[in-house]
Structure 1
């Protein structure tokens, strides 16, 4: 079996490529800029831009399965090329946002929803991984930690169940290598619900860096993130946090079901990445 792993500059894709290789499975790492990848020795890299169909045939040649990021712009052409290449199974890195009733129009869910629809309408076997918030999203607060500023949160009591990206990669490994798990959808979460303020406290403890949380208005937060976050995404996030303010996040057992071990805690992730939150 040869698996094409797209998006190997990302934390999930790079971890999955390493896991497949370590397990003796054939793997080809893909990226828009394959020369910039850092891969284990023996893992070949190939150019694959999910928005550029011209890159698809060479990337897919001889491939049996694909780990796919949710880029809708070229999805129809990608599925046509995958079918022509003899691909049998695609694992999509989707999002739990597609479970919302407004997924088709929700700015956070829309791209994932569109790719899911295209996949499920195709003759290929599709497995959908729907993680919630990544533990690595906490890096957004690292600059505040390092500079001694408060962490600004518009909804500090919004609940989340952050999942370690390594667990997502392990879940993907499981569904790629075990046919019994294929063709289904899995809502992946971490093992516990934590508010945003609680996540900040966990990071402060792990890094030994004192920090305070400052509640800010929606507009103040939008203005602060404007250089990095498109307005429609910022509004989608704010709406989600407002809807979950004061509510615990859903915790599923899907991660453990696929990986065979409990999902890693946010505290474990924080301890492993504590250096990023120290001055």
Structure 2
């Protein structure tokens, strides 16, 4: 198979990772450090970051551009998330963030995209920064939402039964690392999936194999699903969004794409491997 991985990575200077303590950002920081790059991590809570000792951890909040000057100083590449705060609200100040990045000398950026385009992508589109949008179909880590039910009742209960080609967070990070340290990825939108599309019942079976015991899967009615979602404290708007998503999945949800292998030169990780890595989360 041909691959986009054609050249030896060149050090881009200091790389800033925003969302550095998140499920993708933490992998990205570790991979960049392992490859010998200088990494700066942005965190709202630096004392709790728990990142490798080689990483420079800097305090800042993407929602407050006034707090970001130190983080962007001397940075030539940046990984950006598009949300802020504990509730994950979409950033509305992307133009300010991107202007600061340009003034600071940033030449490359990756963006972890969500359902919809945000102010960050709109600002990058009219900037001088070469950027790449990462578009994961679904995080494998979303299965951690099932952990309490599996630990306490040995069952996964939900309305959705459609297959998803979810992607391992480390593979999202690996694609970002290549785009940040090699040329040829600017202007690309990279849809990202794992190597197979699995239904929730099939994912449940993979977790059962990882923990070494049977775990049941129960398909819920719409009313039961509403109660399940409300039990997590979700708003009624989000509950109804969850119902619609369960009934009408996005067309690309089950589409397996070869992007991870094409960009990184290695096969995408399976959900079975993810389940083994996280097996303790599902044990009583």
Q: Normalising by structure 1, what TM-score?
A: 0.88
Higher-helix-fraction structure: 1
Instruction: Tell me which of 38, 41, 45 is aligned to 2:50.
Output: 38
Cα distance in 1 for residues equivalent to 2:191 and 2:152: 36
1:229 alignment counterpart: 234
How far apart in 1 are the matches of 2:103 and 2:56?
Answer: 22
Q: Structure 1: which 5+ residue stretches go unaligned?
A: 96-108
- Structure 1 residues 1-279: aligned runs within 5 Å: 1-71=13-83, 72-95=91-114, 109-110=115-116, 112-155=117-160, 157-226=161-230, 227-244=232-249, 249-279=254-284
- Per-residue deviation, 1:247: 9.8
Aligned-pair distance for 1:18?
1.3
Structure 1 segments, 4+ long, off by >6 Å, are: 245-248
CA offsets per residue over residues 48-88 of structure 1, 9 Å max, x none?
21111111211100000110001222212111111111111
Name the CA distance, whole Å, in 2 between partners of 1:203 and 1:212: 11
Counterpart CA distance in 2 for 1:115 and 1:217 is 38
Structure 2 gaps of 5+ residues are 1-12, 84-90
SS of aligned partner of 2:111: strand
CA contact (8 A) 1:90 1:124 kept: yes
Q: Matched residues in 1 for 2:234 and 2:111: separation?
A: 24
SS of the aligned residue for 1:271 comes to helix
What's the TM-score, normalizing by structure 2?
0.87
SS in 1 for 2:149: helix
Alpha-carbon separation, structure 1, partners of 2:162 and 2:179: 31
Residues 157-176 of structure 1: CA deviation (Å, up to 9, x unaligned): 21101111011111111111
Question: RMSD of aligned C-alpha atoms?
Answer: 1.9
